[in-house]
Amino acid sequence: MYRKMAGVLFILCLAVTAYSQQPGSNTPRPYQHGTGMMRGIASDQQIDRAVDTLKTTLNLSPSQETSIRQLARSRRESFSTIRDQAKPKFEQLMSLLEQPNPDPTAVGKIVVELKAIHQQFETKQMDFEKQLSGILNPTQQQTLNNLRNEAKTFFALRRIGLLGAPEFHRGMFMSMSRSGGGNTDE
């Protein structure tokens, strides 16, 4: 019983994330670490900045840069299509859940449909990751694997508040010193 409820809540969280994404915006947004199905739908500018970082970190060749940029854009288009499939289902689900006594059968049907869309996302994500691995040489692949492992530690520390963003620390102390409150010693 609890596993089923947890599964439904998980699907709902994915659907909320899918619904909240804004389609096709080329306006850069600050990076936000998310856990939802649709995270990572990047603008052309975000893709270019990311590829520039990868160029340095992984020592990419010009052809690898081009391939990764094309792969990221292809991923964005593919996931936009998935988001477009999920959005009306999510709207239906929210409409049902706003009713005083939602029909459990109708809710369950939509949740199952959203789960299928989520599985489609996961399959496509694995395919894109496999394509990326095909672009990288073994040394670059090892660097990427090391970064994945380090990222887990980084986000774990951020999640529990033991590693804040550098701009947060500077901003906090700068605002305190400007307002005259607090200690300005860093």
pLDDT in tens, 17-55: 444 444 443 333 333 333 344 555 789 999 999 999 999
23, two tokens: 């389609």
- pLDDT tens profile 85-134: 999 999 999 999 999 999 999 999 999 999 999 999 999 999 999 999 99
- Cα-based distances in Å from 28 to 42, 46, 62, 75: 8, 7, 24, 17
* pTM for this model (two decimals): 0.64
